[in-house]
Amino acid sequence: MPSIEIKDLKVTYYNDTKETLALDGVNVSFINDKIAAVIGPSGCGKTTLLRTICGFLDYEGTITSDGVDYSTIDYKKRNMSYIDQSVTINPNIDVYNNIADPLIINKVNRLEIDKRIKKIAIDLGIDRFLSLFPSQLSAGQVQLVLLAKAIVKEPDLLLFDEAFSGVDPGSKKRVFDVIKSQRENHPLTMIFVSHNYEEIAALADYVVVMDKGKVDRIIDRNDKMFNSLHKMMENNGDK
């Protein structure tokens, strides 16, 4: 997935006679092979932005990928993974087959599927769960399976909306290490929404700050303001 360029993006929610402008002229670029954190107070449009990039919502404005209008790219050809707090795993199949599902859909051969699943399961510390069913796992373990499923397909674009919540600190570090390792071997653009400063400090190359449906500012990791993010997030109620 090349860089994503967003211009004058507007998204409106309709509820009976009420209209809510969730995104009000967003202009932002997400850089290829970089990890961007999106922060801002509740209701500022973070989730709507990710869902629009995924193709789930109608919008005004333009989203381009390497200069190509994103709306013309078939959804199945958008090599991406998306997790938000509503995404679940299939309760009727074991952990192994849950993780395998996107690889089977992409017609990856069985030997490669087995190789990838065993590696990511070991890397994330869930290899002992592969034969178990979701009902036998804790909420944090289910979240790790979801993350494994998203990462194992080696997507060009990762979109995570509070995807690390419920994951213990040790397992979270494992996830971050896997993402960083995959990025070294495969170009990976990642956009993640978080209210957790430690997650942002561990992963983000730059931070997109949103407010009232717009992008307020962009802060690079090398910017002095990056070190003040914790205080900024607390002041904005983004914690």
Q: Which of 171, 173, 183 is nearest to 144 (CA)?
A: 171
Residues 50 and 117 in one domain: no
Q: What pLDDT, in 10s, does the model give residues 54-93? A: 989 999 999 998 788 888 887 777 789 999 988 899 999 9
What's the confidence (pLDDT) of residue 1? 44
Whether 37 and 15 map to the same domain: the answer is yes
**Quick count: other Cβ atoms within 10 Å of Cβ 133?**
16
Residue 129: predicted pLDDT: 96
Is 85 within 8 Å of 162 (Cβ atoms)?
A: yes
User: pTM of the entire structure?
Assistant: 0.92
How are beta strands 214-220 and 157-161 bridged, if at all? unpaired
Query: What is the DSSP code (8-state) at residue 74?
Result: -
Say if residue 71 is in the same domain as residue 19: yes
Token pair belonging to 107: 């017609």
State phi, psi for 40 to the nearest 5 degrees.
Answer: 150, 165
Interval 41-61: pLDDT, tens? 999 999 999 999 998 999 999
Give residue 201's Cα distance to chain centre: 16
pLDDT score for 148: 96
- Let me know whether 161 and 51 are in one domain: yes
For 70-76, the CB contacts below 8 A with 24+ separation are 70/4
Residues 15 and 91 in one domain: no
Whether residue 175 lies inside any domain: the answer is no
Q: Which residues of the chain have pLDDT under 70?
A: 1-2, 236-239
Distance separating alpha carbons of residues 85 and 74, to the nearest angstrom: 25
Asked if the structure places residue 210 within a domain, the reply is yes
What CATH number is given to the structural domain containing 21?
3.40.50.300
Report the domain count for the chain: 2
> Rounded to an integer, what distance in angstroms lies between the CA atom of residue 142 and that of residue 135?
9
Q: Domain residues for 149?
A: 80-154
